Amino acid sequence: METRSARTLVLDVPGWDGHDAGQHVDVRLTAPDGYTAQRSYSIASAATADELEITVQKVSGGEVSPYLVETAAVGDEFELRGPVGGWFRWRAVDDGPISLIGGGSGIVPLMAMIRAREQAGAMTPFHLTYSARTPDHLFYAHELYRAAEADPNLQVVYAFTRAGIASDIRRPGRLTSNDIAAIAGSNGAPARTFICGPNGFVESATQLLLDAGHAASSIRTERFGPSGG
Ligand SMILES: Cc1cc2nc3c(=O)[nH]c(=O)nc-3n(C[C@H](O)[C@H](O)[C@H](O)COP(=O)(O)OP(=O)(O)OC[C@H]3O[C@@H](n4cnc5c(N)ncnc54)[C@H](O)[C@@H]3O)c2cc1C
């Protein structure tokens, strides 16, 4: 469990040819009566040989996510299609600095990028702005903390929407122009910004970046909204 309502599943995929950070898979479940349901999940793991990780946030009343978070057990088999996605991905040869902006479970493909960067030994400056309700809602909290402590080229900034930690200077709330202004920081303007999260989050973060003068061509987005769009 990453939080009380989100779980990482490690999938053994024989013959997996690898993937790029940022890509996703389509997971298809089939009930005993033949009914099927398919949903997309970002790959959380860096490219490794035969194991894939996905992290699923339970959506109350949802068809697939409650099953994956609460019921799926070791040994279960799913159908997978992928890797999918050629636009929202990062490779170690790409220009930096890179800015990552994640809201809620939108952290998942961004974490894959952070892990891929570490796996490649790349020094590309990364700046992550991670918006979550409270510290209890953070995925990968210890790993992110340790990675940022160990690497001055990886900056991680938390933007809590409901309640932060006592020492926070930032008041809890949605992303503002102040959060966007902090991205350039010591590294200068990002060559590319990846934004991922619910539809509304992605739209408002994109607008804040455009208002701050970032080029539209430098922004790549992935939306996790109900429409899957
Ligand atoms: C490219 C892509 C990557 C994705 N990666 C991830 C990931 O890494 N981790 C993850 O947890 N999810 C991810 N999602 C979202 C995921 O595909 C499902 O939409 C989500 O798990 C809900 O499915 P469900 O069957 O439980 O809900 P559904 O049965 O589809 O929907 C139930 C109810 O919840 C609403 N709803 C559906 N999805 C959401 C949502 N995301 N937020 C709020 N309300 C919703 C619906 O409108 C409906 O009212 C991704 C989506 C896309 C398009």
**Domain boundaries defined on the chain:** 6-84, 98-223
Query: What are the tens digits of pLDDT across the range 143-197?
Result: 999 999 999 999 999 999 998 788 888 999 999 999 999 887 767 889 999 999 9
The pLDDT value recorded for residue 228 is 40
**What residue type is assigned to position 16 of the chain?**
W
DSSP one-letter code for 70: I
Instruction: Look at residue 50 in the predicted model and tell me its pLDDT.
Output: 66
Q: Which fold has domain 98-223?
A: Rossmann fold (3.40.50)
CB-side exposure of 53: number of CA atoms within 13 Å?
19
User: How is domain 6-84 classified at the CATH fold level?
Assistant: Elongation Factor Tu (Ef-tu); domain 3 (2.40.30)
Render the burial of 106-141: b for 16+ CB within 10 Å, e for the rest.
bbbbbbbbbbbbbeeebebbbbbbbbbeeeebbbbb
CA 59 to ligand 1 center in whole angstroms = 7
- The full DSSP string for 173-190 is SS--HHHHHHHHGGG-S-
What SS3 class is residue 107?
helix
In this prediction, residue 49 carries a pLDDT of 59
Hey, whose CA ends up nearest to atom 15 of ligand 1?
224
Look at the chain and count its residues.
229
Ligand 1 pocket test, pick from 1, 24, 41 with the greatest ligand atom count within 8 Å of Cβ, gives 41
Q: So what's the pLDDT on residue 168?
A: 84
Q: Tell me which residues of the chain have a pLDDT lower than 50.
A: 228-229
Residues lining ligand 1, Cβ inside 6 A = 24, 39-42, 54-57, 59, 61-65, 105, 108, 198, 222, 224-226, 228
